[in-house]
Copies of this chain bind each other. A is one copy, B any other.
Protein backbone atom coordinates (compact mmCIF):
# COMPACT_ATOMS: atom_id res chain seq x y z
CA UNK A 1 0.00 0.00 0.00
CA UNK A 2 2.90 2.39 0.42
CA UNK A 3 2.69 3.16 -3.29
CA UNK A 4 -0.52 5.05 -2.54
CA UNK A 5 1.35 7.10 0.05
CA UNK A 6 3.84 8.03 -2.63
CA UNK A 7 0.98 8.97 -4.93
CA UNK A 8 -0.84 11.09 -2.37
CA UNK A 9 2.16 12.85 -0.89
CA UNK A 10 3.94 13.45 -4.13
CA UNK A 11 7.67 14.07 -3.89
CA UNK A 12 7.85 13.51 -0.15
CA UNK A 13 10.17 10.86 1.28
CA UNK A 14 9.27 8.96 4.41
CA UNK A 15 11.04 6.58 6.73
CA UNK A 16 9.62 3.10 7.19
CA UNK A 17 8.31 4.12 10.61
CA UNK A 18 6.55 7.11 9.12
CA UNK A 19 5.03 5.00 6.38
CA UNK A 20 3.56 2.69 9.01
CA UNK A 21 1.93 5.63 10.77
CA UNK A 22 0.60 7.10 7.54
CA UNK A 23 -0.81 3.82 6.35
CA UNK A 24 -2.54 3.26 9.66
CA UNK A 25 -4.46 6.50 9.27
CA UNK A 26 -5.64 6.02 5.71
CA UNK A 27 -8.72 4.00 4.94
CA UNK A 28 -9.56 2.72 1.50
CA UNK A 29 -13.09 3.54 0.35
CA UNK A 30 -14.73 2.26 -2.81
CA UNK A 31 -17.79 3.86 -4.31
CA UNK A 32 -20.01 3.05 -7.22
CA UNK A 33 -21.62 5.54 -9.55
CA UNK A 34 -24.64 7.04 -7.85
CA UNK A 35 -23.50 6.38 -4.28
CA UNK A 36 -23.09 9.22 -1.84
CA UNK A 37 -19.98 9.91 0.17
CA UNK A 38 -21.71 12.63 2.17
CA UNK A 39 -25.15 14.09 2.62
CA UNK A 40 -26.30 17.44 4.00
CA UNK A 41 -26.64 17.59 7.79
CA UNK A 42 -24.48 14.58 8.58
CA UNK A 43 -21.43 15.05 10.77
CA UNK A 44 -18.27 15.58 8.71
CA UNK A 45 -14.84 14.64 9.96
CA UNK A 46 -13.07 13.05 7.01
CA UNK A 47 -11.00 14.23 4.09
CA UNK A 48 -10.98 12.11 0.95
CA UNK A 49 -8.24 11.63 -1.60
CA UNK A 50 -9.41 10.50 -5.04
CA UNK A 51 -7.31 7.67 -6.46
CA UNK A 52 -9.58 6.80 -9.38
CA UNK A 53 -13.04 7.78 -10.58
CA UNK A 54 -14.91 11.06 -10.36
CA UNK A 55 -17.10 12.76 -7.76
CA UNK A 56 -19.07 15.96 -7.48
CA UNK A 57 -19.90 18.02 -4.42
CA UNK A 58 -23.02 20.11 -4.64
CA UNK A 59 -25.34 22.27 -2.62
CA UNK A 60 -29.10 21.93 -2.81
CA UNK A 61 -30.81 25.28 -2.43
CA UNK A 62 -34.17 26.19 -0.94
CA UNK A 63 -35.99 25.49 -4.21
CA UNK A 64 -34.27 22.12 -4.63
CA UNK A 65 -31.95 23.26 -7.38
CA UNK A 66 -28.44 21.81 -7.28
CA UNK A 67 -25.27 23.87 -7.50
CA UNK A 68 -21.96 22.11 -8.00
CA UNK A 69 -19.09 23.38 -5.89
CA UNK A 70 -16.38 21.07 -7.06
CA UNK A 71 -15.56 18.10 -9.20
CA UNK A 72 -12.83 15.75 -8.03
CA UNK A 73 -10.79 13.36 -10.14
CA UNK A 74 -7.52 11.51 -9.60
CA UNK A 75 -5.16 13.47 -7.39
CA UNK A 76 -7.78 15.77 -5.86
CA UNK A 77 -8.97 15.98 -2.30
CA UNK A 78 -12.63 16.42 -1.56
CA UNK A 79 -14.84 16.95 1.47
CA UNK A 80 -17.34 19.46 2.78
CA UNK A 81 -14.81 22.15 3.53
CA UNK A 82 -17.36 24.56 4.92
CA UNK A 83 -18.24 22.02 7.60
CA UNK A 84 -14.72 20.70 8.09
CA UNK A 85 -12.80 24.00 8.11
CA UNK A 86 -15.49 26.50 9.01
CA UNK A 87 -16.04 27.74 12.51
CA UNK A 88 -19.80 27.45 12.65
CA UNK A 89 -20.55 23.74 12.78
CA UNK A 90 -19.39 20.40 11.55
CA UNK A 91 -22.66 19.45 9.87
CA UNK A 92 -22.38 19.03 6.11
CA UNK A 93 -24.05 21.70 4.04
CA UNK A 94 -23.44 19.85 0.79
CA UNK A 95 -23.71 16.45 -0.84
CA UNK A 96 -20.90 14.47 -2.40
CA UNK A 97 -21.94 11.98 -5.04
CA UNK A 98 -19.88 9.50 -6.98
CA UNK A 99 -20.42 10.04 -10.70
CA UNK A 100 -17.87 7.48 -11.89
CA UNK A 101 -16.89 4.36 -9.95
CA UNK A 102 -14.19 5.49 -7.58
CA UNK A 103 -11.46 4.40 -5.19
CA UNK A 104 -10.76 6.90 -2.44
CA UNK A 105 -8.53 7.05 0.61
CA UNK A 106 -9.94 8.81 3.63
CA UNK A 107 -8.29 10.31 6.67
CA UNK A 108 -9.97 12.01 9.58
CA UNK A 109 -9.43 15.70 10.11
CA UNK A 110 -8.28 14.89 13.62
CA UNK A 111 -5.64 12.45 12.44
CA UNK A 112 -4.55 14.79 9.69
CA UNK A 113 -4.07 17.60 12.21
CA UNK A 114 -1.92 15.30 14.31
CA UNK A 115 0.16 14.33 11.29
CA UNK A 116 0.67 18.02 10.53
CA UNK A 117 1.92 18.54 14.07
CA UNK A 118 4.09 15.45 14.25
CA UNK A 119 5.51 15.53 10.72
CA UNK A 120 6.56 18.94 9.46
CA UNK A 121 6.82 17.51 5.97
CA UNK A 122 3.09 16.88 5.99
CA UNK A 123 2.39 20.36 7.34
CA UNK A 124 4.34 22.00 4.51
CA UNK A 125 2.70 19.72 2.01
CA UNK A 126 -0.71 20.74 3.32
CA UNK A 127 0.23 24.42 3.25
CA UNK A 128 1.33 24.14 -0.38
CA UNK A 129 -1.89 22.38 -1.33
CA UNK A 130 -4.03 24.91 0.51
CA UNK A 131 -2.22 27.83 -1.04
CA UNK A 132 -2.71 26.43 -4.51
CA UNK A 133 -6.37 25.79 -3.85
CA UNK A 134 -6.65 29.28 -2.43
CA UNK A 135 -5.39 30.77 -5.66
CA UNK A 136 -7.81 28.62 -7.65
CA UNK A 137 -10.74 29.74 -5.56
CA UNK A 138 -9.85 33.40 -5.98
CA UNK A 139 -9.72 32.71 -9.68
CA UNK A 140 -13.15 31.12 -9.70
CA UNK A 141 -14.67 34.03 -7.81
CA UNK A 142 -13.02 36.39 -10.26
CA UNK A 143 -14.37 34.46 -13.21
CA UNK A 144 -17.86 34.42 -11.74
CA UNK A 145 -17.70 38.17 -11.32
CA UNK A 146 -16.17 39.09 -14.65
CA UNK A 147 -16.99 36.54 -17.31
CA UNK A 148 -20.10 35.66 -19.28
CA UNK A 149 -21.47 32.13 -19.16
CA UNK A 150 -19.94 31.40 -22.55
CA UNK A 151 -16.50 32.54 -21.48
CA UNK A 152 -16.72 30.52 -18.27
CA UNK A 153 -17.64 27.44 -20.27
CA UNK A 154 -14.72 27.90 -22.64
CA UNK A 155 -12.39 28.34 -19.67
CA UNK A 156 -13.77 25.24 -18.04
CA UNK A 157 -13.24 22.91 -20.98
CA UNK A 158 -9.80 24.41 -21.42
CA UNK A 159 -8.82 24.06 -17.75
CA UNK A 160 -10.41 20.67 -17.04
CA UNK A 161 -10.59 18.67 -20.29
CA UNK A 162 -10.42 15.42 -18.33
CA UNK A 163 -13.48 16.39 -16.30
CA UNK A 164 -15.39 17.80 -19.24
CA UNK A 165 -15.20 14.48 -21.02
CA UNK A 166 -16.30 12.42 -18.05
CA UNK A 167 -19.32 14.26 -16.66
CA UNK A 168 -22.77 15.04 -18.03
CA UNK A 169 -23.55 18.42 -19.53
CA UNK A 170 -26.07 19.22 -16.85
CA UNK A 171 -23.34 18.81 -14.27
CA UNK A 172 -21.16 21.26 -16.10
CA UNK A 173 -24.07 23.69 -16.35
CA UNK A 174 -24.61 23.39 -12.64
CA UNK A 175 -20.93 24.04 -11.96
CA UNK A 176 -21.02 27.12 -14.18
CA UNK A 177 -24.14 28.39 -12.47
CA UNK A 178 -26.39 28.20 -15.53
CA UNK A 179 -29.21 25.95 -16.71
CA UNK A 180 -28.82 23.03 -19.08
CA UNK A 181 -30.83 24.92 -21.67
CA UNK A 182 -28.46 27.85 -21.56
CA UNK A 183 -25.44 25.58 -21.83
CA UNK A 184 -27.03 23.86 -24.80
CA UNK A 185 -27.49 27.18 -26.55
CA UNK A 186 -23.93 28.19 -25.76
CA UNK A 187 -22.60 24.93 -27.18
CA UNK A 188 -24.66 25.42 -30.30
CA UNK A 189 -23.32 28.91 -30.75
CA UNK A 190 -19.73 27.78 -30.27
CA UNK A 191 -20.01 24.92 -32.76
CA UNK A 192 -21.57 27.14 -35.41
CA UNK A 193 -18.76 29.66 -35.03
CA UNK A 194 -16.01 27.11 -35.36
CA UNK A 195 -17.28 25.57 -38.63
- Verify B177–A135 contact, CB threshold 8 A: no
Is there a chain B Cβ closer than 8 Å to A69's Cβ? yes
Chain B residues with CB below 8 A from A135, complex form: 81-82, 84-87
Is there a chain B Cβ closer than 8 Å to A161's Cβ? no
Q: CB-defined interface of A138-150 with B at 8 Å, one 1/0 digit per residue?
A: 1111101110000
User: Contact residues of A with B, CB < 8 Å?
Assistant: 59, 61, 65, 67, 69, 81-82, 84-87, 93, 116-117, 120, 123-124, 126-127, 130-142, 144-146, 177
Excluding A81-B138, A134-B137, A144-B145, 8 further A-B contacts by CB distance (< 8 Å) are A67-B146, A69-B138, A69-B145, A82-B142, A93-B142, A117-B124, A133-B134, A144-B144
